[in-house]
Chains A and B, each alone.
Chain A
Amino acid sequence: MSSKGPAVPFGASPERGLPAVAGGERTETRTRARANPVVRLLADIWAWRLSYLFIAPFMLCFTAFIVVPVLAAVALSFTYYNAIEPPRFIGWQNFQYLISQDLLFLKHALPNTFKFALIVGPGGYVAAFLLAWMIAQMPQALRKWFALAMYTPSLTIGIAMSIVWLPLLTGDRIGYLNSILLKLGLIDVPKLWVTDPSLLMNSMIVVTLWSSMGVGFLAMLAGLLNINPEYYEAARIDGIRSRLQEIWYITIPAMKPQMLFGAVMAIVTTFKTGAIGVELSGQNPTPEYAGHLIINHIEDYGFIRFEMGYAAAVSVFLLVLMYLSNKLSWNLFGEKGDDGR
């Protein structure tokens, strides 16, 4: 903070005077400020009061609906809270139960989430990059249409997504997938794509992948299109031969910031997915907990069993999981190599 230059708001120099901030008042506070760092900071804050006014509406909502809930989740995770009696502090008991005794969590929610996240997260991410790269190879006139085609599925948010897919995956012979596979002779009896516990997870993964070319995909496409073509020419002179080398040595380093943004988006959308299993199978909980993800576990304890303290502990676990995944992508794509940190 100390290196942030002169404490003059809005970049104007003091000689010119400041229309936005009363001039006399400021010089007075500045002389006083030299004496005491706290007074100096307060004076600084007062001088920038307009900036704080600008950010106030967002910060109020942000605090109320994001910061406070996250802090409250952490606090509640150490309590027993059933929404009727006041929360009672119980230390690490929730977490101990979670990682040692909660069979539903250990046998279903956790492995399911890992399987789902490992395929949908990195898989969707790589697919988004490859699709964006292929689109960038196309002539200008076609790019727009291909981008639209890939992005459109992600517009069928939430419930509409299941409605699109359900008739395709219906378990009887009227379901399109069954009908096609039966005709091709690949299966003998119709498969229960969304109600058979051994198939539900695969259906969930396919449908989620289908709809995952969202904001991150667009960011990577935009990043690809913005790379200076001279880089490629220079690389060719330097002896880069194949397209793979080009992607590895030029494309990815040049669009690292967008790669990181895409990775963050992929992680968030992957871990927040939860309703899809319930919507596809039409049952809550999903048949034999085959599509039970950590998010479903939170809802189960929070809104059905009303063990909100325990549910908060599960959500803290998920937050940590998301944070670690983000940390990993930060290490891969974050810009820090140059100054040797």
Chain B
Amino acid sequence: MKIRIGSRRLAIDGFRIAVGVVLSVMALFMLLPIVYLFNHAFKPYHELFVYPPRFFVREPSLQNFNELAGVTARATVPMVRYLFNSVLISGLAVALVTAVSALCAYPLSKHRFPGSKWLFGLIILTLMFAPEVVQIPRYLVVSRLGIMNTYFGHILPLVAMPIGVFLLKQFIDQIPDALLEAARIDGAHEAVVFFRIVVPICMPAVATVAILAFQSAWGNTETSALYMLDEEMKSFAFFLSTLTNNLSNNVAMQGAAAVAALILFVPNLVLFVILQSKVIATMAHSGIK
């Protein structure tokens, strides 16, 4: 600890500057690979393999974007199809996850129906498990349901997102019962209470769940690898993972892969930057009590 000279205020400032320096160094380390990704994506060939390697791009070019498009030019499935699949899957997943989670979280929080405590306990319990662990039985379920090779096979497994229900439920807990009660006395149906009062109040949590749903859908390679048989049903993230096989031994595709990674990464970043304050507001209620 610092030796305090004079007022406490002075000591805090000195300490804060030190903390700020440490944080800045950490931030630099965290962001370096990201900055690098942006630079790499715009490097022309002769800069990709130069020795000693240069971090920043000198003559930015769109060569890598063309190369990425060219990879699939002669294939049966064009890259646009993968992108279309990913956009469609992510859009539907976001809409379904938020709607289904909010619908489930409201009664869990505000109705004391038989079994509600037990169900919430079960959801907290599954929060601790990763679906990746039980992918074999999941595969069997998907194949028995007959949704292999359909968009349902992409989306429905993602809809079961316990963390979405959890975050929304914790957020809805903040809404005073008196408010809902007042609406009910005025004759509002539960559906009206839900859509007119609960949903508008918990928009920050809805936005957070939407972001989480988007992240899991947009970057998902698992459903494509396991449940999709036809190439034209697979997602962009999966296409990217096929591009990068053996990337460590082969630098030829690095530029194109960097572009593809950029396409995967930028929507996540943009969404988070837009909704950051809402996410933090939601997370304040995320504690498990």
Instruction: List residues of chain B with CB within 8 A of the CB of A302.
Output: 135-136, 139
The residue on A at minimum CB distance from B31 is A149
A51 at the interface (CB under 8 A from B): yes
Given known A54-B103, A158-B219, A268-B128, contact A69–B31 (CB-CB < 8 A)? no
- Separation in Å of the B60 CB from the closest CB of chain A? 17
B159 at the interface (CB under 8 A from A): yes
* CB nearest neighbor in B for A42: B114
* C-alpha gap A222/B167 in the complex (Å): 13
Docked complex: A244-289 residues within 8 A CB-CB of B? 244, 255-261, 264, 267-269, 271-272, 274, 279-282
Candidates B110, B130, B139, B241; contact of A159 at CB < 8 Å: B241
Question: Is B162 interfacial (CB-CB < 8 Å)?
Answer: yes
B141 touches A134 (CB 8 A): no
Q: In the complex, what residues of A have CB within 8 A of residue B279's CB?
A: 218
Within 8 A of B (CB), among A296-323: 298-299, 302-303, 308, 311-312, 315, 318-319, 322-323
CA distance A194 to B270 in the complex (A): 31
Contacts known (A45-B113, A58-B165, A311-B136); A176 close to B55, Cβ less than 8 A: yes
Residue-wise, chain A 58-82 has the 8 Å CB interface mask toward B (1 for contact) of: 1101101111111011001000000
- A interface: dominant SS: helix
The answer to whether A66 touches B160, judged by C-beta atoms less than 8 angstroms apart, is: yes
Partner of A219, one of B132, B162, B265, B287: B287
Contact B37 A272 (CB under 8 A): no
B140 within 8 A of A: yes
Q: Mark B32-71, 1 if CB is under 8 A from A, else 0.
A: 0110110010000000010111010000000000000000
Q: Which residue of A lies closest to B181 (CB)?
A: A11
Question: Nearest Cβ in chain A — how far from B75, in angstroms?
Answer: 19
Count of interface residues, chain B, beta-carbon cutoff 8 Å = 113
Could you tell me if A298 and B283 are in contact, using CB atoms closer than 8 angstroms?
no
Q: Does A153 contact B (CB under 8 A)?
A: yes
A11:B189 contact, CB within 8 angstroms: no
Among A89-97, A110-118, A140-148, the stretch that binds chain B is A140-148
Q: Which residue of A4, A65, A153 contacts B34 across the interface (Cβ within 8 Å)?
A: A153
- In the complex, the chain B residue whose C-beta lies closest to that of A243 is B1
Decide if B160 touches A55 in the complex (CB within 8 Å): no
Interface of B is mostly: helix
- Which B residues lie within 8 Å of A312 (CB)? 136-137
Taking a contact as CB atoms closer than 8 A, the residue among A65, A158, A168 that contacts B138 in the complex is: A65
Q: Whose C-beta in chain B lies nearest to the C-beta of A306? A: B136
CB of A99 within 8 A of chain B? no
Q: How many residues of A contact B (CB 8 A)?
A: 121
Q: Considering the chains assembled together, what is the distance between the CA atoms of A299 and B141 in angstroms?
A: 17
Known interface pairs A72-B134, A170-B251; 9 further A-B residue pairs with C-beta atoms within 8 A, sorted by A's residue number: A5-B112, A19-B187, A57-B159, A146-B23, A155-B268, A167-B36, A243-B15, A269-B130, A279-B241
Which chain B residues have a beta carbon within 8 Å of chain A's beta carbons?
1, 15-16, 19-20, 22-23, 26-27, 29-31, 33-34, 36-37, 40, 49, 51-53, 55, 99-101, 103-104, 106-108, 110-114, 116-117, 119, 122-123, 126-141, 145, 156-157, 159-160, 162-163, 165, 177, 180-181, 184-185, 187-190, 194, 212, 215, 218-219, 221, 226, 237, 240-241, 244-249, 251, 254, 257-258, 260-261, 264-265, 268-269, 272-273, 276-277, 279-284, 286-289
Query: Which 8 residue pairs across A and B have the least CB separation, nearest first?
Result: A257-B287, A272-B130, A58-B104, A157-B219, A48-B113, A72-B137, A222-B283, A69-B137
